[in-house]
């Protein structure tokens, strides 16, 4: 009987160590996925900010140029605003689902890889 107890104790001890090691491994894997996802979104966010600044400057230039062509500066800004209003409507009504799906798939793929 003592042989069985002596045989089971190391086995139980190994199972405990295996459980702790597995738990630690899962924690590290989750941490890696979170760090990878967050760093990816931060780097993409920086690119989006730079692109936004470029487009804002470009839009002001186009608005001033159009305003000069149309005779009044604010006409150019109205034209640019109207263009973005139309584009926003198109994106919302026809491409909203497609964009949402692409972003969701990107987040899922980032978490799984």
16-20, 53-57, 76-80, 95-99, range with the lowest pLDDT: 95-99
pLDDT of residue 15: 84
Q: Are 32 and 105 in contact (CB under 8 A)?
A: no
Token pair 């994106």: residue: 91
pLDDT of residue 57: 97
Higher pLDDT, 16 or 50: 50
Q: How many CB atoms lie within 10 A of CB 50?
A: 10
Q: Are 79 and 70 in contact (CB under 8 A)?
A: yes
In this structure, is the dihedral angle defined by the CA atoms of residues 30, 33, 36 and 42, taken in order, positive or negative? negative
Task: Give the model's confidence band at 107: pLDDT under 50 very low, under 70 low, under 90 confident, else very high.
Answer: confident
Report the mean per-residue pLDDT for the chain. 87
Residue 38 token pair:
């967050």
Question: What residue numbers bound the domain in which 86 lies?
Answer: 2-112
1-5, 94-98, 103-107, range with the lowest pLDDT: 1-5
DSSP 71: S
Domain count, the chain: 1
Q: CA-CA distance, 74 to 86, in Å (whole number)?
A: 18
């Amino acid at each position: 009987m003592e042989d069985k107890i002596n045989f089971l104790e190391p086995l139980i001890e190994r199972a405990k160590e295996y459980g702790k090691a597995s738990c630690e491994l899962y924690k590290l894997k989750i941490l890696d996925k979170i760090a990878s996802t967050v760093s990816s979104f931060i780097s993409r966010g920086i690119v989006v900010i730079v692109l936004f600044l470029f487009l804002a400057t470009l839009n002001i230039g186009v608005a001033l140029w159009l305003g000069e062509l149309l005779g009044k500066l604010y006409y150019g800004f109205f034209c640019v605003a109207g263009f973005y209003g139309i584009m926003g409507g198109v994106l919302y009504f026809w491409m909203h689902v497609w964009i949402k799906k692409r972003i969701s798939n990107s987040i899922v793929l980032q978490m799984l890889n």
